[in-house]
Chain A
């Protein structure tokens, strides 16, 4: 009941004209930026963080949450019509959605994505509304031991559950940690890893790192490709949105995707991208129309898109109630919170309860806004796809330069941006994923702080990890989470081998 009262209060202030305007603006801005080819939610938020600098915390956060939602949907449009996913999460949409568009079913693909996103997003926020207060109560028994463990789990899961090489994902995490440790040690005030440069003693700014990694490599790559690489934009096809059959075929994937995405989203360190992949694989496995997959199966759009958006809501739960981001994008949001001097976690629900409930309420509004604005306006957004690449990507380079300038007001900050742009490009070329390092960079101060406190309290012993019941349970879950998939994979491989043998 308390929760409903809190939420009611949140709605009261989220529906104030200015808050409402920022929620709508965020969704619109997010969609516009998300539609731009090669720009996914992470890049969109990273590029737009400087815009929120001078705002009231509540407005800035409402705006950025709206941008998050909007850019996810914008990314689906791009994936469907030109097969250029802005990030891994919409990569599967680029398979089925694009095939649907090629068959003249573009409108149906976009509609099932939008409706699925809306339903799953709203369900996930309902989950967020009622689960967060529970988790906050639970968090009261958490000490530094548990926090350290949870953050280590987040980083471990981010590397083991990513799509691609685990070693490379781990390298990405350690690069993020390495960057995060540069600067003055907050406990002793001693300079660390500054290589004698006093300018580095303030540390490396998170936004500069995020912008450099997520905007520059993509922009430079596209500009360097030069002419010739022209995207083929699929038309919408016929003007039917969704047929009765489309609705029937989408309903269950939406439901399954929502549940799957929500659960995966809650796990620390595992973002929505994995959710959309898992949903795609699941839909393909249980479908009666397996042969349609890869040729425009609507289930392959409905499920992953729902999972993706449910994952966003799910990932907000550990962020809000524990202060632990579940993915690179929520790590960016955590950074924005701290930029405003707010620390998400149990305390924020006590001290800033008005603010946090306003943000939660604005997410409901943002989801409604998304579907009201985007289905009718999709034709307008598609025009953005025709924007010449040289104009798009050179503008992005200018925007990140402004962002870096607005943070440091110095040549040093601008040069850091450029240097990390080069590092990001090289990482990308070497196949090292960029997102885990962002998560690591945000987590490193908390990780180290809790590690130190844990050992100080215990006098240097690691025993509390095993003797405290809560931490022991986390360890058990962590082992299951890491060993489980390995056993599962082994089992699948064995079954395939057996199947091969029996065929032969």
Chain B
């Protein structure tokens, strides 16, 4: 695993994850009731499960094969050079954020990656919002959610954050309930 470039290591992990998902999906087809049709209800799900397993394994194999070829070209120890040639040569397939078509290769800058801890935190806050939306009600939970999100980002501009959070919640609520007749949860205010 030491010789793997970050992009190829990512492919190995992705491949394993896809294989596992495929396996779970395939096993779940055993619980589908059998019928006497030519194409049973389980046929398509089984095909999909097996395809995911095969594709996942293919991705792992491809990444390992590429890293071996890379190791042949680049002597071990100069991994940074290997990395550069990986993103320049076969990179269109292997590395993320690089888009290439045919051999003419249109290469775009890779987008900046955020820290995993931050991503988990943002997702956690979003899930809390989704969880309280119905019991607490749209207006209060949305204002609180927006206030939290904007304050993490720009704590010193709390006055602006507060005004935005309250105004946005109220305007959206009025627009959806009175304009589009989509009744949003009233929660504890109801």
List residues of A whose CB falls within 8 A of some B CB.
50-51, 53-54, 88, 91-92, 94-95, 163-168, 170-171, 174-175, 177-178, 181, 185, 187-188, 190-193, 195-196, 216, 220-221, 223-227, 229, 274, 277-278, 280-281, 284-285, 388-391, 393-395, 397-399, 401-402, 405-406, 410-411, 414-415, 417-418, 421-422, 425-426, 429-432, 444, 448, 451-452, 455-456, 459-460, 485, 488-489, 492-493, 496
Contact = CB atoms under 8 A, between A and B. Distances in A.
Contacts of B56: 171
Contacts of B45: 178, 181, 192-193
B44 to A, nearest CB: 5
B38 A192 contact: no
10 contacts: A50-B180, A53-B180, A88-B99, A164-B92, A284-B104, A417-B130, A431-B11, A444-B44, A452-B38, A492-B103
Contacts of A280: 106
Given A193-B45, A430-B17, A489-B103, A390 B154 contact: yes
Interface residues of B, number: 80
Contact of A430 (B13, B49, B102, B172): B13
A416 B22 CA distance: 20
B51 A174 contact: yes
Contact of B149 (A390, A417, A421): A390
A54 B55 contact: no
A24 to B, nearest CB: 17
Interface of B: 7, 10-11, 13-14, 17-18, 21-22, 25, 28-29, 31-33, 35, 37-39, 41-42, 44-45, 48-49, 51-52, 55-56, 58-59, 62, 92-96, 99-104, 106, 108, 111-112, 114-115, 118-119, 121-123, 126-127, 129-131, 133-134, 138, 142, 145-146, 149-150, 152-154, 164, 168-169, 172, 176, 180-182, 184-185
A193 B52 CA distance: 15
B176 A402 contact: yes
A455 B58 contact: no
B104 A193 contact: no
A277 B153 contact: no
A174 B48 contact: yes
A493 B112 contact: no
